[in-house]
Structure 1
Amino acid sequence: MILEAAMLQVKPDRTGKFEHDFREASDYICQISGYLGHELQKCLEDEHKYLLLVRWETLEDHTEGFRGSPQYLEWKRLLHDYYEPFPIVEHFTRIYP
């Protein structure tokens, strides 16, 4: 399993709309082969900061499958305008336990 992690910094005064649109965008990501689940966490210290975690079977399920899909275009249309700066996406694999 691969864990995708992205720290999302949402533009001021847009968090409510972002959270609404994120729910809609979630319908698209879960349609992708190799998708295992995702969650969005909101920072307690900074109301504009979110942590997105997505679980994939393989790295390619995200980098090629999702990013090369029509569903990604909808995800992008719904969400990419909210971020400032644009997030860095990193991938992790479990070491322990």
Structure 2
Amino acid sequence: MIFEHAHVTVAVDRQSDFERAFAGVKKHLVAANGGKTAELVRSVDTDGLYLMRVGWDSVEQHVAFSASPDAQKVVNALAGFFVATPQVAHFEGLGIATRLRNLMQVTAVGIANQVRARQGSKTPV
């Protein structure tokens, strides 16, 4: 999964309106092809600063969404609140399946090494 992180700054006196607007368009992000999650996180350090975090199956699906009518609805609803250009970056998330597979591989190697040690073999896996 890919996470789009957009740092956005809005006018402090419009924060409540911005939060309501995001709640109104969140459905378009989640319902998009490849859209998985969408959340808005308010900074505790800087008034008016938010993290918009959207989970996608891939960067390509995010890019495809950007050209869609639903993306335009999101932009139309939110862009008027921004007092600076949003800073956007994508991050790769390790899903539960990847974490479990990695854990199982480490565990299997450990067990194999223990079995070999008990059998007197000094060759690691």
Q: TM-score under structure 1 normalisation?
A: 0.90
Count matched residues. Answer: 96
- 2:93 and 2:29 map into 1 onto residues whose CA distance is 22
Relative to its length, the structure with more strand (as a share) is 1
Match of 1:26 in 2: 26
Give the share of equivalent positions with the same residue, in percent. 28
Task: Please identify the structure whose Cα radius of gyration is greater.
Answer: 2
Unaligned runs of 5+ in 1: none
- 2:34 and 2:93 map into 1 onto residues whose CA distance is 17
Secondary structure, counterpart of 2:31 in structure 1: coil
Root mean square deviation, CA, Å: 1.6
Question: How far does the alpha carbon of each residue in 1:3-58 deviate from its partner, in whole angstroms, 9 at most, with x for none?
Answer: 11011111231101101111101121122111111211111122211111111001
The runs of at least 4 consecutive aligned structure 1 residues that moved more than 4 Å come to: none
- 2:61 and 2:67 map into 1 onto residues whose CA distance is 10
Relative to its length, the structure with more helix (as a share) is 2
Match of 2:77 in 1: 78
**Structure with greater contact order relative to length (CA < 8 Å, sep ≥ 6):** 1
Unaligned runs of 5+ in 2: 100-125
Match of 1:35 in 2: 35
Q: TM-score under structure 2 normalisation?
A: 0.71
